[in-house]
Amino acid sequence: MSQRILVTGGAGFLGSHLCDHLVSEGHDVICLDNYFTGRKNNIEHLMDYKNFELMRHDITFPVFVEVDQIYNLACPASPVHYQYNAVKTIKTNVMGAVNCLGLAKRIKARILQASTSEVYGDPNEHPQKESYWGNVNPIGLRSCYDEGKRVAETLFFDYHRMNAVDIRVMRIFNTYGPRMHPHDGRVVSNFIMQALEGEDITIYGDGSQTRSFCYVSDLIDGMIRLMNQDELIGPVNIGNPGEFTIKELAEMVIGLTESNSALVFTAQPSDDPRQRKPDISLAQHKLDWEPAIDLDEGLRKTIAYFIELLDEQD
């Protein structure tokens, strides 16, 4: 059945893929964004669809729309961008959650929060299960994002307990794919752009820190499954459990792009998590979800996207 759906942060990397999916299923989609890190380019192909609508709005201010479902994705995700204006990042997470939850409460909409593996901080438990409470520095450079997302989770559960708001909370692990901003600052886009442009590959620290990379189509599939079932409210990890060191990632990107770029090692940012790998057994059992695209295949698709982007710029 067709539904009316609000996607905050809909012009961003994940939001635009989510809008694609929802529009193609025939839902009426309102894409809300303030274009801080999102771009109209990401969603311009949807503008001619009658079931797609764009709303320029900052989610730190209340929003009034009538919808059946809300996906709350508004928040810069790259450390470079979320640290650019740390106070704004906290406001987006906290006031954004309050505004979306208030709306969901009033109009009785189901609401999904795009939370993050960052709630586990620099984890002492490996791999990370949803039951792990995390190891987060409350006053560091990453705290505006990590603690903002943690408060947002708290708000979701308190609105659920106090007001019976129908919540879903998803903890997203590092996700990559086409439509990442080429200068977004995240590791996959940085390495691919550097390799394609023949620049040095910048490894922060010695490159032994690990991450688990999920391809965007797998992530969106998990998000939609979580939203459209009645058993599990979360939090639930959605990510690819394949774990790679950052140096391994750099070597894969160099190999796949056949680049001559050199690896250079620079200072590691403070509070950079040493390791990260999701335990996805909850999503496997309750959502019947697991990722289908491994890092090699996903990188090939992403590299093809960035090559096309560079060709268009020439």
| Residues annotated as catalytic (active site), given as ranges | 145
Binding partner of residue 306 among ligand UDP, ligand NAD, none, CB cut-off 5 to 8 Å per kind: none
- Measure the CA–CA gap between 260 and 197, rounded to whole angstroms: 10
- Measure the CA–CA gap between 151 and 154, rounded to whole angstroms: 5
| Total residues at interface with ligand NAD (CB under 6 A) | 27
Q: Could you say whether residue 37 binds ligand UDP (CB under 6 A)?
A: no
- Measure the CA–CA gap between 112 and 233, rounded to whole angstroms: 9
- Measure the CA–CA gap between 131 and 270, rounded to whole angstroms: 26
Q: Could you say whether residue 187 binds ligand NAD (CB under 6 A)?
A: no
The nearest distance, CB 168 to ligand NAD, in angstroms, is: 14
Give the residue, chosen from 204, 232, 245, 281, that forms a contact with ligand UDP under the rule CB under 6 A. Answer: 204
- Return the amino acid letter for 308: E
In terms of Cα–Cα distance, which of 57, 275, 252 is closest to 173?
275
How far is CA 167 from each of CA 10, 70, 96, 219, 248, rounded to the nearest angstrom?
19, 10, 15, 18, 37
Site for ligand UDP in 163-192 (CB under 6 A): 174, 186-187, 190
Report phi then psi at 162, rounded to 5.
-85, -35
The nearest distance, CB 136 to ligand UDP, in angstroms, is: 13
Q: How many CA atoms lie within 13 A of 204 on its CB side?
A: 16
The nearest distance, CB 267 to ligand UDP, in angstroms, is: 10
Binding partner of residue 222 among ligand UDP, ligand NAD, none, CB cut-off 5 to 8 Å per kind: none
The nearest distance, CB 262 to ligand NAD, in angstroms, is: 27
User: Where along the sequence are the contacts to ligand UDP (CB under 6 A)?
Assistant: 78-79, 174, 186-187, 190, 202-204, 209, 211, 246, 268-269, 272
Binding site for ligand NAD (CB under 6 A): 8-9, 11-15, 33-38, 58-60, 73-77, 92, 114, 116, 172, 174-175
